[in-house]
Amino acid sequence: MNPVLHVRAFQDNYIWLIRGRSPDRVAIIDPGDAEPVLEALETQRLQPAAILCTHHHGDHVGGVEDILKHYSVPVYGPARERIPAITHRLNEGDHVKIPGLGLGFEVLDVPGHTAGHIAYYGTGMLFCGDTLFSAGCGRLFEGTAEQMHASLSKFSALPESTAMYCGHEYTEANLRFALAVEPGNLHAQTYRDQARDLRAKNLPTLPSRIGLERQVNPFLRVHTPDVRHSAEKHIGGRLDTEVEVFAAIRRWKDGFRG
């Protein structure tokens, strides 16, 4: 039995349904749209046990209130962001025990994409919203390069077997950029081919693994000489710190059209 089901929403969002010890009960991660979630719950005969939110953007929380019209469940989310339906406000170090699922998650503060973004880590799984993507990371809408680099460093320090579930299917586009930064990265080349095959079959590239992300994701590789040299070549100048390298490739990615 797959412990995590995906629900597609909008153009490229994934809403995650996490099973626990009871196969018919699930926790819902980042329901930006209620309709596909309610349909999945009905067709697969599932009952929600909780809703978990990572950040306040509408494509991650827009369906919460409509789901609550059908099911009375607790809503967990970041303490430092305004999400009206939240019943349990969370900060770094808090632990979430989902009723009826037998699952628990540690809360990580991971600002950068938004100021109060959080992630959920436990049972070998990471639900990271829009902070980390496979082969990429989120844009800096509300946070700083220093914050995002620190947030990504938390993820990179997790066990390499950790399954990473993010909020969007961006893998192919991210790998095009990753290979612009590191054209000789054989791991990224292999992953690009695998991702192409999966998407040709309309299958998700997710979950990824933290170990794989360390090998292919330029935003987790700012400490490496190849990424530093590529970033310096792109800007035509010297970069002295990992944060400066990160900021340079994040700006490069913002304008990348490869």
26: CATH: 3.60.15.10
Same domain assignment for residues 193 and 232: yes
Same domain assignment for residues 153 and 28: yes
pLDDT of residue 160: 98
List the structure tokens of 187. 């791991």
DSSP β-ladder status, 132-133 and 125-127: unpaired
Same domain assignment for residues 196 and 231: yes
Same domain assignment for residues 225 and 250: yes
pLDDT of residue 21: 86
List the structure tokens of 158. 């997790």
pLDDT in tens, the chain (258 residues): 679 999 999 999 999 999 988 889 999 999 999 999 999 999 999 999 999 999 999 999 999 999 999 999 999 999 999 998 999 999 999 999 997 898 999 999 999 999 999 999 999 999 999 999 999 999 999 999 999 999 999 999 999 999 999 999 999 999 999 999 999 999 999 999 999 999 999 999 999 999 999 999 999 999 999 999 999 999 999 999 999 999 999 999 999 987
Domain boundary among 147, 165, 183: 165
Check whether the bond before 207 is cis (ω within 30° of 0): yes
Distance, CA of 165 to CA of 134 (rounded, Å): 9
Same domain assignment for residues 123 and 210: no
Same domain assignment for residues 71 and 115: yes
Sign of CA dihedral 162, 183, 137, 242: positive
Length of the chain in terms of residues written: 258
* pTM exceeds 0.75: yes
Distance, CA of 43 to CA of 64 (rounded, Å): 19
Residue labelled with tokens 């503060």: 109
pLDDT of residue 1: 62
**Bridge partners for 77 per DSSP:** 89
Same domain assignment for residues 116 and 201: no
Domain boundary among 165, 185, 206: 165
Same domain assignment for residues 125 and 142: yes
Distance, CA of 240 to CA of 242 (rounded, Å): 7
Q: Using an 8 Å Cβ cutoff, are 136 and 174 in contact?
A: yes
Same domain assignment for residues 38 and 150: yes
Report in angstroms the alpha-carbon separations of 231 from 82, 134, 253: 36, 20, 11
Same domain assignment for residues 124 and 211: no
Distance, CA of 253 to CA of 80 (rounded, Å): 28
DSSP β-ladder status, 25-29 and 208-209: unpaired
Domain total for the chain? 2
Residues marked active site are found at: 55, 57, 59-60, 113, 130, 168
List the structure tokens of 190. 């292999």
- Please state the φ and ψ torsions of residue 199, each to the nearest 5 degrees: -70, -30
Full domain range(s) for residue 213: 171-254
Domain boundary among 165, 183, 199: 165
Same domain assignment for residues 38 and 145: yes
Picking from 16, 7, 18, 6, the residue whose alpha carbon sits closest to that of residue 123 is 18
Q: Using an 8 Å Cβ cutoff, are 66 and 34 in contact?
A: yes
Same domain assignment for residues 153 and 186: no
Q: Roughly what angle, to the nearest 10 degrees, separates helices 145-156 and 242-254?
A: 100
